[in-house]
Amino acid sequence: MSLNKNLFQQPPNKLLAALPDSDYQHLFPYLKLVPLQVQQILYEAAEPITQVYFPDNAVVSIVTTMEDGSTAEVGIVSNEGMVGIPVILGDNTTTT
């Protein structure tokens, strides 16, 4: 039986929910729920990205470290997007 996102609950991540059923069915076997902790680091700058994240009920803050060691938030991702965009662009590391 092929998986159909409508047989279950609509994915809470809007990016996944917007995919055509055939594309979502192709991705579905690779998706898993991952509990995240507050202030958990998903990636370090210049280290390989081994997973991408499609938040469903989380907000992921993208920060960069300044020369003086302070950090600045440069973006946020919630249930409308994906964390790990460099992978789609053909890279496996991030600068932030």
What is the model's pLDDT at position 9? 59
DSSP state of 92: S
d(CA 43, CA 23): 26
Q: Identify whether the C-beta of residue 5 lies closer than 8 Å to the C-beta of residue 21.
A: yes
d(CA 87, CA 22): 21
pTM: 0.82
Q: Which residue has the tokens 């609950």?
A: 9
CA–CA distance from 83 to each of 3, 17, 43 (Å)?
24, 16, 10
What is the model's pLDDT at position 80? 95
Query: Phi and psi (nearest 5°) for 63?
Result: -125, 155
What is the model's pLDDT at position 7? 44
Show pLDDT as tens, one digit a residue, over the chain (96 residues): 344 545 455 788 999 999 999 999 999 999 999 999 999 999 998 899 999 999 999 999 999 989 999 999 999 999 999 999 999 999 999 888
